[in-house]
Amino acid sequence: MLLTRTIRVVLLFGFTVAAVAVLAAAGGCQGPALMTAAGSAGAAGEQAVATTPPEKSGVQLWAETCGRCHNLRDPAWRSADAREVAVHHMRLRVPMTGEDQRAIQKFLRGD
Amino acid sequence: MKWKHLVLGWMAITALAAALLGEEAPATPAAPAADKPAGVTPPPGVPPAKPPQAPLGLFLLTGDADFTFAAQRGSRGVFEGAVAPMLLWQPCDRVLLELDLDLSLANNPVTGGTDKSGTVALANLSYIVNDRLTVGGGIFEMPFAAFHSHFDPGWINRLPDEPLPYGERGIAPDQGIGFFALGAFPIADSRLTYNLWWTVSPTLLIDDPDAAGSIDFGNFHNFKYTNRNSGLRTAGGRFAYIVCPAVEVGYSIQASEMNPEHFKHVDALLQAVDVNFVKEFDEIKGTVRAQAEWLWSNVRRATYDPTGALGFGPLRFDNERSGGFGLVSYRPTKCGNAFLKNTEFVIRYDWLRIPEESPGGGGEERWTPGVDYWITPSCVIKVAYEWDRLHGAPDAHVLLFQFAIGF
């Protein structure tokens, strides 16, 4: 039983390391942009809002953090208050640092 | 030393580190204009300044809804409508109340009647202690592996149904009642995130001839079980490393002590690893998403129906189960054609292995190719065909249609 568990852990570790290596080699860690809002929004009426800034900023954190799981919605879709609550809620779903939360909220406020 | 003690120790060290290392979050997050990061482009239509907060704080009504039709050869189709309204209340910058109801209605092809369901999926209060630590309690979504916390709602999930480890015979917890702590640490451009939880234990089913030995994770909706398992006898956590924006790798562990009535105490250990990837490639003019998870559970050996009174015992078996899924999708987001640009091609392989000798046991594996059409970023029509192979039972292939929306 213990041997089986040990083998399983070793296999899992190997699987994880291999997966990360393959994804990184495939270009996953090259370049700062995860995806553009234009590509994600896509449908008529959605506007392109994200670009690739020279350093990590609110818009980039927004695209990276939110776009990792779901399509990006036009921020203007919700009111400023609603966007603030939504980002707070998402901090509970996918933990982010306080700095990241504030940067995203600042971008969504248009500061 | 028990697994539970190891998990508790690990959790305590992480929470302590977060409390000590986290910097105080300012009550008002607004920064002076001079600190505006380079390259920030305010989105069109976004108001430039934050309006003063209302005396009662901020409210948001959000959620999701989906309508699914499943057609299976030899049986009547199943139509299901589900809506999950969520109320969020932020009385101040650090506090958030989440209240979410899951309501669904479906026809039952066997009885010819209607199945109605309504549960409180979320009812919790959280407090941001500092930039690295948030604590809370109540009914909350268990971030065991990544699917429930990241991809569960119909407008995010790329296929109409959940992977097998999260289904009816699943081995992953979905909600819990208890306390939680979570946070993240920056490591250069990468992030290390953690979730910790202490909850009422799930229930080990002991008298169901079709499911004895399985764990009921939704037990806390039944206060009889909740009382029986009183005390926070489950501890768990998920630790994830966001290697770079495109790649996240996570490991989850949960140890539970379960106390079924008139039965011995039984420990359960659940573990999972998950990898998520998403990136838009110029070379193939589109976005690739990949998700993979591997989960397994180990419930201590026990003798079910020891007297044979229930008709299936005495039965004793190694209660080790495992499951997982791999999903890949491609959406030509950089294609010039508007229709193709909003079309996403998906394929998933998922499996579940349950000991053959256990009640309701046997393996299952599925291949599910599908096509999604995105009407808006949070509104999607999905079509999928599921090749479902059940070990020791007839195959259960099914055609699925779904309309899902997030609001």
Compare all CA atoms of chain A with the CA of B50 and give the residue at the minimum distance. A109
pLDDT tens by residue, B9-25: 666 666 666 665 665 54
pTM, to two decimals = 0.83
Q: Which two tokens stand for residue B88?
A: 């969020």
Alpha helix positions (H), B67-211: none
Q: Which two tokens stand for residue B76?
A: 């009547």
Residues of chain B contacting residue A69, judged by C-beta atoms under 8 Å apart: 150-151, 156, 276
Residues of chain B contacting residue A47, judged by C-beta atoms under 8 Å apart: 43-44
DSSP-derived pairing of the beta strands B203-204 and B398-406: unpaired
Instruction: Specify the DSSP class assigned to residue B222.
Output: S
* Residuewise pLDDT in 10s, chain B (407 residues): 465 566 666 666 666 666 656 655 444 444 333 334 444 454 555 544 555 567 789 999 999 999 999 999 888 899 999 999 999 999 999 999 999 999 999 999 888 899 999 999 999 999 999 999 999 999 999 999 999 999 999 999 999 999 999 988 899 999 999 999 999 999 988 999 999 999 988 888 888 888 899 998 876 666 555 556 567 889 999 999 999 889 999 999 999 998 777 788 889 999 999 999 999 999 999 999 999 999 999 999 989 998 888 888 799 999 999 999 999 999 999 999 999 999 999 999 999 999 998 998 889 999 999 999 999 999 999 999 999 999 888 888 999 999 999 99
Residue A18 dihedral angles phi and psi, to the nearest 5°:
-65, -40
Across the interface, of A59, A72, A108, the residue whose CB is closest to B41 is A59
Closest by alpha carbon to B152, among B124, B122, B189, B112? B122
**What pLDDT score does B141 carry?**
94
Q: Do B341 and A42 touch (CB under 8 A)?
A: yes
The rounded distance, in Å, linking the Cα atoms of B198 and B255 is 10
- Contact between A58 and B40 under an 8 Å Cβ cutoff? The reply is yes
Quick count: other Cβ atoms within 10 Å of Cβ B212? 23
Rounded to the nearest angstrom, the minimum Cα separation between B163 and chain A is: 16
SS3 assignment, position A105: helix
The rounded distance, in Å, linking the Cα atoms of B40 and B23 is 25
Domain coordinates of chain A in residue numbers? Answer: 1-30, 31-109
Across the interface, of A36, A98, A111, the residue whose CB is closest to B131 is A98
Rounded to the nearest angstrom, the minimum Cα separation between B4 and chain A is: 17
Residues of chain A contacting residue B278, judged by C-beta atoms under 8 Å apart: 34-35, 67-68
Optimal mutation site among A10, A55, A94, interface B, most CBs of chain B within 10 A: A94
The rounded distance, in Å, linking the Cα atoms of B270 and B293 is 13
Q: Quick one: B197 exposed, middle or buried, by C-beta within 10 A (0-12, 13-18, 19+)?
A: buried
The rounded distance, in Å, linking the Cα atoms of A52 and A62 is 12
Q: Do A53 and B38 touch (CB under 8 A)?
A: yes
| Per CATH, domain B139-406 is 2.40.160.10 | yes
Residues of chain B contacting residue A7, judged by C-beta atoms under 8 Å apart: none
Q: Do B90 and A84 touch (CB under 8 A)?
A: yes
Cα dist from A60 to A32, A78, B43, B197, whole Å: 8, 19, 13, 30
Residues of chain A contacting residue B30, judged by C-beta atoms under 8 Å apart: 106, 109, 111
| Half-sphere exposure in the Cβ direction for A39 (13 Å, CA) | 25
Across the interface, of B40, B279, B333, the residue whose CB is closest to A28 is B279
Instruction: Specify the DSSP class assigned to residue B152.
Output: -
Q: Do A20 and B128 touch (CB under 8 A)?
A: no
Helix axes A58-67, A98-109, angle to 10 degrees: 110
Domain coordinates of chain B in residue numbers? Answer: 139-406
